A and B are shown apart, each in its own frame.
Chain A
Amino acid sequence: EAGVVQSPRYKIIEKKQPVAFWCNPISGHNTLYWYLQNLGQGPELLIRYENEEAVDDSQLPKDRFSAERLKGVDSTLKIQPAELGDSAVYLCASSFGGRSVGEQFFGPGTRLTVL
């Protein structure tokens, strides 16, 4: 079974440029999560989708970050414009059922460097 797929794995951009990350969850997983992980820290939730609905985006900096999951499958996270402090690893995870026991399966992440 294929795991959570993310692309690109690495991205280097200059500040003020836009950037987008893509995630394809495990087949059949209706819940998708985007996390931000800084070096030496645990992941922090940015947004959670149940199917195509964003049910928790309270931690998403909406002035520059946006996300979409139009058909309830894959998802895109965008930053525009990027700032130096956005340098981090962006992790996507999926699970079966947001309120059930279901463990979250993580993708390999996209490491973003903003210069």
Chain B
Amino acid sequence: GQNIDQPTEMTATEGAIVQINCTYQTSGFNGLFWYQQHAGEAPTFLSYNVLDGLEEKGRFSSFLSRSKGYSYLLLKELQMKDSASYLCAVRDHRGNQGGKLIFGQGTELSVKP
């Protein structure tokens, strides 16, 4: 089966750095995605990791360790607009499930002044 765990909520201060962790168990791993979702809006793509290591994109970075079933999203120089839900999603490539994303429950991040 598949299981994805991430913290329900986190709080951080404007200008600081925050790390959102995600652990997963899946039989047919084919990549891990991070999405950002503001309240009442659609999820928007942030990052994609399929190989071990760090992917950096501006203030956001994402790390993957396939052997540990672990990823994190790192947000630097936090801004108030970063307050949102951050969704970790694992893609399964097995059979007709190729391309299927399994989402975690999301981590609600609150950025305080």
Give A contacts to B, CB under 8 Å. Answer: 4, 31, 40-45, 48, 55-56, 91, 95, 97-101, 103-109
Contact = CB atoms under 8 A, between A and B. Distances in A.
A43 B88 CA distance: 11
A43 B89 CA distance: 9
Interface of B: 4, 8, 31, 33, 35, 41-45, 48, 50, 87, 89, 93, 96-106, 108
Given A40-B105, A99-B93, A101-B31, A91 B42 contact: yes
Contacts of A103: 33, 45, 48
Nearest to A54: B96
For chain A, what secondary structure do more than half of its interface residues adopt (helix, strand, loop), or is it mixed? loop
B89 to A, nearest CB: 7
A100 B50 CA distance: 12
Contacts of B44: 106
Nearest to A91: B42
A43 B103 contact: yes
Nearest to B97: A56
Given A42-B89, A45-B100, A56-B97, A106 B105 contact: no
Given A91-B43, A99-B93, 15 more contacts: A40-B8, A43-B101, A45-B101, A45-B102, A55-B96, A56-B96, A56-B97, A95-B99, A101-B31, A103-B45, A104-B45, A104-B101, A106-B35, A106-B43, A108-B41
